[in-house]
Amino acid sequence: MRKLLVIGIGAGNPDHMTVQAISGLNRADVLFIPDKGAGKTDLAELRREICDRFVTNPKSRRVEFDVPVRAEPAPSYRSTVDDWHEAIAAIYEGLIRDEIAEDGCGAFLIWGDPSLYDSALRILERVRLRSNIAFDLEVIPGITAIQALAASHKMALNRIGDSILITTGRRLTEEGLAGNAGSTVVMLDGKCAFNTLDDRDVVIHWGAYLGTPDEIILSGLLGDVGAEIEKVREEARRDKGWIMDTYLLRKPGEPQGD
């Protein structure tokens, strides 16, 4: 049976690669490298750099493939994502069928960690449910942008007796800050959702291109640095053609708890 590895490659720094991930790369006969278009060539190039640096298996080869662009949400966000995932599942199925031998091993290189705000595992489950091709799946975790954010800001994610919520920019806009979460980590925010919050005394720890030479970090009270973060973010996105950022929100001061 075909073996498929889903490997977390970290938040952008090749030094984030774990020993387990490097071993996984070298077990694979074929490495799948996604291309998300001209505006995100840096992402594919980083995967190539990781392969150049860590792959020593002489029989390994790379297969690059195009990732379809997700349409704007219509009629709903969920249905749009569902259609997008279905299109990618068809691509994945073809890659597994055509590029991996019956007893071979292939690997998908996933930004960050495959189990946190990434859809590769859900998409591969769609492929499995089609029942056209069988494969054995193994997931190798990676360092996430959340871990890199905390490290770059030299802080712990949690506070004593406090809880953490991980959410998206879209949900933050719709729901605001959850009252029972002491710290809120926001990912996948393309529109600076933090500026929709009424409470400007919330502390924000923001970072982009985390762990890379292009890393940018800013922090402070939202009322003081929110506009600056939005400006810096837009300038960085315009200069590079893409942006990957995340941030943590919390009220100042240590909570009074256990």
Contacting residues for 182 by C-beta, under 8 A, at least 6 apart: 158, 159, 162, 163, 164, 250, 251, 255
**CATH at residue 218:** 3.30.950.10
Residue 254 confidence (pLDDT): 59
Residues 103 and 159 in one domain: no
In a domain, 49, yes or no: yes
In a domain, 256, yes or no: no
Map tokens 């150049």 to a residue: 52
Residue 71 confidence (pLDDT): 66
Residue 194 confidence (pLDDT): 97
**CATH at residue 32:** 3.40.1010.10
In a domain, 89, yes or no: yes
Q: Domain limits at 212? A: 146-250
Residues 49 and 66 in one domain: yes
In a domain, 129, yes or no: yes
109, 124, 143 — which closes off a domain? 143
Residues 226 and 188 in one domain: yes
Residue 67 confidence (pLDDT): 85
In a domain, 258, yes or no: no
Residues 109 and 158 in one domain: no
Residue count of the chain, please give it: 258
Closest by CA position to 21, among listed 123, 31, 211: 31
109, 143, 177 — which closes off a domain? 143
Specify the number of domains making up the chain.
2
Report phi then psi at 239, rounded to 5: -70, -45
Residues 244 and 150 in one domain: yes
- pLDDT tens digits, 29-77: 999 998 866 556 777 888 899 999 999 999 999 999 988 877 666 666 6
Residues 25 and 126 in one domain: yes
121: which 2 tokens? Answer: 């595992």
In a domain, 177, yes or no: yes
- 52/1 Cα distance (integer angstroms): 28
Residues 154 and 207 in one domain: yes
Give pLDDT < 70 ranges for the chain: 36-40, 71-77, 254-258
Residues 91 and 200 in one domain: no
Helix axes 120-130, 77-99, angle to 10 degrees: 70
Please return the burial class of 179, using the count of CB atoms within 10 Å of its CB with bins 0-12, 13-18 and 19+. Answer: exposed
